[in-house]
C-alpha cells in the first residue's frame, strides 16, 4: 500500500526538492523535476512556482522539462496556471513573416516528435512561400533567405522541449565537430547505419531515446544541400556571438 505521505508530499521533502530545483545543476535538476512530478499536486505546485518566476525570454530545457510535466498532467490547477502564465507556450513565438508556430509548440510540449517534425517542415515551407507549400519540400536557395528570427524560434522550440537533444543548433555542433564530414554526421545522428539510410518513418526514433541531433529531419532525403544551408545559416552565428 502506498504511503499517503508520499502521495501528498512530505513538507520537508518538498522544501528540500524546491531548494535543489532552484540551486541545483543541470545534471540534478531533471531528476528533481521527475521526483516532484511523482508527488502529485504538492510537487506540481513547486513546478508552477518555479516556472512562475521565469521569463519566456530566458527559458532553457530545464524549464522546458518542468513545463512538459505540467502540460501533460491531469491537474486542473496546472492547466489553469499554464493558460494564464504561458497562453501560447513557454517559448516566445517570434516570426518575421507572421508564421504561427503554436501547433509546433503544442506537439513538442506533448512529446509527439513525429507530428512536430511534420509541422516543422510545413512551417518552413510556409516560410519559403506558396511554391514550397505546394511541393512540400525546400530548395537550398530558399533556406538561405530564411529570416534569422524564425529559424531561431523553431530551433529554440526543439531545444527546450527535448532536454537539449534536438534542434538545428545541435546538428550544427555535431557537424562542426565532425569536421563537416557528412558521412560521420549521418551515423552520429542516426540517419544512416553502415551503408543503409534510415527508412522514414518506421526506422526513425520519435522519442528522447534517439541519438543527439536525430531530429528534426530537415528534408535529409533530398541530399545535403538543404541541411548544409540550414547549418550554415547566419542564425547560428548570431546565437554563438550572443
Evaluate whether residue 94 is within a structural domain. Answer: no
Evaluate whether residue 136 is within a structural domain. Answer: yes
Q: How confident is the model at residue 179 (pLDDT cuts 50, 70, 90)?
A: very high
Distance CA 170, CA 215 (A): 9
Evaluate whether residue 115 is within a structural domain. Answer: yes
pLDDT averaged over every residue in the chain: 90
Report, in angstroms and rounded to the nearest whole number, the Rg of the chain calculated over CA atoms.
19
* Residue 213, pLDDT above cutoff 50: yes
**Residue 13: which CATH number?**
1.25.40.620
The separation between the first and the last C-alpha atoms of the chain, rounded to the nearest angstrom, is 53
pLDDT of the residue at 143: 94
Claim to verify: residue 108 and residue 142 sit in the same structural domain: yes
Q: How confident is the model at residue 58 (pLDDT cuts 50, 70, 90)?
A: confident
Q: How confident is the model at residue 232 (pLDDT cuts 50, 70, 90)?
A: very high
Evaluate whether residue 199 is within a structural domain. Answer: yes
What percentage of the chain reaches a pLDDT higher than 90? 80
How large is the average pLDDT for residues 91-119? 96
Considering only residues 180 and 1, tell me which one the structure prediction assigns the higher pLDDT: 180
pLDDT of the residue at 221: 55
pLDDT of the residue at 27: 87
Length of the chain equals 242
Claim to verify: residue 70 and residue 151 sit in the same structural domain: no
Claim to verify: residue 70 and residue 127 sit in the same structural domain: no
Considering only residues 141 and 54, tell me which one the structure prediction assigns the higher pLDDT: 141
Considering only residues 61 and 221, tell me which one the structure prediction assigns the higher pLDDT: 61
* Residue 87, pLDDT above cutoff 80: yes
What is the CB-side half-sphere exposure of residue 154 using CA atoms within 13 A?
A: 30
Instruction: Count up the domains in the chain and report the number.
Output: 2
pLDDT digits (tens, 9 = 90+) for 6-53: 334 566 689 999 999 988 888 899 999 999 999 999 999 999 999 998
* Residue 114, pLDDT above cutoff 80: yes
The domain boundary, picked from 33, 50, 85, lies at 85
* Residue 161 domain boundaries: 102-241
How large is the average pLDDT for residues 201-223? 87
Claim to verify: residue 134 and residue 237 sit in the same structural domain: yes
Claim to verify: residue 37 and residue 77 sit in the same structural domain: yes
Selection from 143, 169, 65 nearest residue 109 by Cα? 65
Which residue's entry shows cell 510535466? Answer: 69
How large is the average pLDDT for residues 215-232? 83
Amino acid at each position: 500500500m502506498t504511503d499517503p505521505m508520499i502521495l501528498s508530499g512530505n513538507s520537508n521533502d518538498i522544501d528540500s526538492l524546491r531548494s535543489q530545483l532552484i540551486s541545483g545543476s543541470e545534471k540534478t535538476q531533471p531528476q528533481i523535476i521527475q521526483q516532484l512530478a511523482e508527488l502529485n499536486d504538492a510537487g506540481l505546485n513547486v513546478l508552477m512556482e518555479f516556472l512562475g518566476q521565469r521569463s519566456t525570454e530566458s527559458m532553457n530545457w530545464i524549464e522546458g522539462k518542468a513545463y512538459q510535466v505540467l502540460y501533460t498532467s491531469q491537474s486542473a490547477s496546472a492547466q489553469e496556471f499554464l493558460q494564464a502564465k504561458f497562453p501560447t507556450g513557454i517559448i516566445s513565438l517570434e516570426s518575421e513573416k507572421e508564421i504561427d508556430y503554436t501547433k509546433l509548440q503544442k506537439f513538442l510540449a506533448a512529446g509527439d516528435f513525429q507530428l512536430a517534425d511534420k509541422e516543422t517542415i510545413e512551417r518552413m515551407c510556409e516560410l519559403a512561400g506558396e511554391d514550397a507549400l505546394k511541393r512540400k519540400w525546400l530548395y537550398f536557395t530558399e533556406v538561405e533567405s530564411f529570416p534569422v528570427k524564425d529559424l531561431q524560434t523553431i530551433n529554440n522550440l526543439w531545444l527546450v522541449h527535448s532536454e537539449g537533444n534536438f534542434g538545428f543548433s545541435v546538428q550544427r555542433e555535431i557537424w562542426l565537430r565532425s569536421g563537416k564530414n557528412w558521412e560521420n554526421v549521418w551515423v552520429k545522428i542516426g540517419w544512416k547505419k553502415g551503408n543503409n539510410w534510415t527508412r522514414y518513418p518506421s526506422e526513425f526514433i520519435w522519442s528522447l531515446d534517439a541519438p543527439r541531433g536525430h531530429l528534426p529531419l530537415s528534408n535529409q532525403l533530398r541530399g545535403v544541400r538543404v541541411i548544409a544551408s540550414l547549418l550554415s545559416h547566419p542564425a547560428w552565428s548570431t546565437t554563438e556571438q550572443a
